[in-house]
Amino acid sequence: MGRGARSTKTTLTLTTSQARSILPELARTAARRAKPSRHLLDNAVEIQPRGEERSAYLVPEVDLKEAARRIEDLEDELEDVALVRLLEQRILADNGHLTPVDEVISEFGFHDLLGDTVG
């Protein structure tokens, strides 16, 4: 999914009464999807309760798992970028003195790597 990319596919919108009458069919169709869609809502069914401003979505499991995987990948990338930025800042502030490795590890937020040495 590209930056700012949005699905152009129209999501099926049903009232709760409509969804209730065909829920087994909707669930079966969603559960049978083997390949995730490009966008999370491409295969979703919007269910609009009467009198409510917001709605609920029935999303195939394969799409939900793929979205969760994408989010995890993006979080990992953000952590990598944050580490690079922190390293850049340390390099710019370098005064020629050595810094103990435990201090650097702690500064980067990897306290679990230090075990019991940090209180």
Q: Let me know: does 105 contact 117? Beta carbons within 8 Å.
A: no
Mean pLDDT across the chain, nearest whole number?
A: 85
| pLDDT tens figures, 92-114 | 877 777 777 787 777 777 777 66
Q: What integer pLDDT is reported at residue 102 of this predicted model?
A: 80
pLDDT band at 10 (very low <50, low <70, confident <90, very high): low
CA distance 116 to 113: 9
Q: Name the burial class of residue 89, with classes exposed (0-12), middle (13-18) and buried (19+) by CB atoms within 10 angstroms of its CB.
A: exposed
Q: What integer pLDDT is reported at residue 95 of this predicted model?
A: 79
Tell me, yes or no, if the pTM score tops 0.95. Answer: no
